[in-house]
Amino acid sequence: MDLIRNLVGFIIILSLLPICLLSFRFTADIPFTYSEISDELSIAQLREMLLIDYDLEFAEYSLSFRYKNRDCTLSQVGDKLIMQPGTMIFLSGLDELHFERRNGVIYVCYRKENEEYERVIAGAKGFYLDDFSDNNVRDDGTDRSEG
C-alpha cells in the first residue's frame, strides 16, 4: 500500500513539474524596471515633505516653499529633480519636467526614457504662515489676541 501511495505522489509531482517550469519561464520574461519603483518611492517622500511645507508658490518649472524654516526650491537641474538649498535628488534621468495645477492639486509631469508620467505631489492651496499668526496686519482693524 505504501508503494502505491509513493508512486501516485511521484506521478503527481511529475505532472506538476512542466507547469512549474512554464510559470518560471513566463515570470522571467516579465520586464521589471527598478527605476519606476525608485521614482514612486521618491515621489512618496516628496509628498510627505510637501504635506508639512508652508508658503507654497507654484510656477510651471519650479515650486518654492518653506520647509523646516528654510526657503526651498524644487526644480529640474540637468536631468534631475532637485530640492535646493543643498541637493536632495528625487528623480533622475529626466528628459523633461514641469508642474501643473489642476482641480486644486499640483502635478509633476515628466518624461523619462520616452515614457510620460504624471503624479500628484501636493495640494495647490498649501499652508501659509500668516494663517497661523495673531499679529498679521488686517484691513478691518480687529485684533484677534484681545478677545
What are the two backbone dihedrals, phi and then psi, of residue 45, each rounded to the nearest 5 degrees?
-65, -40
The grid coordinates listed for 101 are 495645477
Q: What is the pLDDT along the chain (147 residues), one digit of tens a residue?
A: 788 899 999 999 999 999 999 998 888 888 777 888 888 999 999 888 888 877 888 888 888 888 888 888 888 898 999 988 888 889 888 999 999 888 888 889 999 888 899 998 887 665 555 555 555 555 554 554 544
Provide the whole-model pTM.
Answer: 0.63
Other Cβ atoms within 10 Å of 91 Cβ, number: 22
Write out the H or E segment, with its range, that includes residue 6. Answer: helix 2-28
Closest CA to 63 of 80, 48, 84: 84
